Amino acid sequence: QVQLVESGGGLVQAGGSLRLSCAASGRTFSRYAMGWFRQAPGKEREFVAAIDWSGSRTYYSDSVKGRFTISRDNAKNTLFVQMNSLKPEDTAVYYCAAQFTTWGSSNQHDYPYWGQGTQVTVSS
């Protein structure tokens, strides 16, 4: 089992930046691949980014590629996503998720562990 708690969400103007964090507790964090997902009002939850257990491999959705950067600090049991050049369409609840494997997928159904989410609102 692993417990996940997101933080860092808030209200930001278009073009601004935010850094989300996801603190993990429970089983050894470094044995989990991690992902970020988001869900906008009235829409399905969608993949944002994934990172492997070591932090050496990352993968992004086309909608955030070049603007978002996923990273992790295994010594501090924390996952991050740096979000730059934010757009109003990035407004959503952002979730971190964990799966007990070396490489994170873009399929939300592969992730058994989820945080409670943090709201990101980008104003135009």
Give residue 42's pLDDT.
Answer: 95
pLDDT in tens, 65-104: 999 999 999 999 999 999 999 999 999 999 999 999 888 8
Q: Which residues contact 93 (CB under 8 A, 6 or more apart)?
A: 38, 39, 40, 117, 118, 119, 120
Give residue 53's pLDDT.
Answer: 93
Please return the burial class of 29, using the count of CB atoms within 10 Å of its CB with bins 0-12, 13-18 and 19+. Answer: buried
Sequence letter at residue 12: V
- What is the C-alpha to C-alpha distance for residues 69 and 67, in angstroms, rounded to an integer? 7
Please say whether the beta carbons of 2 and 97 come within 8 A.
no
Q: Examine the pLDDT at 40 and tell me if it is beyond 80.
A: yes
